Chains A and B, each alone.
Chain A
Amino acid sequence: RKEVEQDPGPFNVPEGATVAFNCTYSNSASQSFFWYRQDCRKEPKLLMSVYSSGNEDGRFTAQLNRASQYISLLIRDSKLSDSATYLCVVNGNNFNKFYFGSGTKLNVKP
């Protein structure tokens, strides 16, 4: 079983739509969770960390469900510029080691 699994998509949504991605992880001892955004042929960039209590940054909301071992990302009022691949990242038993999901591709259409 992979450490981190994501639906690869693509998710094709119109501008203004709300879209949600989920990501499941296998290691119940994981402590740190992140969403990264990666544009085509660019490096991953941190979108947001995911805290136990959930957190929100503008149009983006991240949630953690430890019991079911998944994290989610909700994007409200999608913009064309949100089109990218969203990577779920979880740390392993070695806190300095991170596991990446293969990413969920989002296409926001006019």
Chain B
Amino acid sequence: DAMVIQNPRYQVTQFGKPVTLSCSQTLNHNVMYWYQQKSSQAPKLLFHYYDKDFNNEADTPDNFQSRRPNTSFCFLDIRSPGLGDAAMYLCATSRGRDAETQYFGPGTRLLVL
């Protein structure tokens, strides 16, 4: 059974047209993460939530926002996608105690036209 679910799996948007990616989890984990991964690069952490506490990375562009309305769901909003935002977006969760393992969703591949 899928534990971290991402929708959609593939998203095509136009330059400048807002897009929202969603992530849900059935693990009841405290921490949820959003990563951006471009081809042949390491996943880059954009932000993470510990419960409702939002932690933004210093180099995450303002164009990227996130919402976590409850434990199970987390959203990534890209307000004005540029061509450089085309990437795989990975959601992950962890229990949040003692730096434990992360569990990844299958990712959403974003294409910007």
Which A residues have a C-beta under 8 Å from some C-beta of B? 4, 8, 31-32, 34, 41-46, 49, 87, 89, 91, 94-103
- B113 CB, min distance to chain A CBs, angstroms: 19
Contact B101 A96, beta carbon cutoff 8 Å: no
Which B residues have a C-beta under 8 Å from some C-beta of A? 31, 33, 40-45, 48, 50, 55, 88, 90, 94, 96, 98-107, 109
DSSP class of A's interface residues: helix, strand, loop or mixed? loop
- B89 CB, min distance to chain A CBs, angstroms: 11
- A49 CB, min distance to chain B CBs, angstroms: 7
Q: Which residues of B contact A96 (CB under 8 A)?
A: 31, 48, 50, 55, 94, 96, 99
- B74 CB, min distance to chain A CBs, angstroms: 14
Specify which of A4, A41, A94, A95 lies most central, judged by the most chain B CB atoms within 10 Å of its CB. A95
18 residue pairs of the A-B complex, CB under 8 angstroms, read A31-B99, A32-B100, A34-B101, A41-B109, A44-B90, A46-B101, A49-B101, A87-B43, A91-B99, A95-B98, A95-B99, A96-B55, A96-B94, A97-B55, A98-B99, A102-B40, A102-B41, A103-B40
Taking CB as reference atom, which chain A residue is nearest B43? A100
Which A-B residue pairs are the 4 nearest by beta carbons? A32-B99, A95-B99, A100-B42, A43-B104
Contact B98 A43, beta carbon cutoff 8 Å: no
Specify which of A34, A96, A98 lies most central, judged by the most chain B CB atoms within 10 Å of its CB. A96
- State the CA gap A99–B109 with chains docked (Å): 21
Contact B41 A44, beta carbon cutoff 8 Å: no
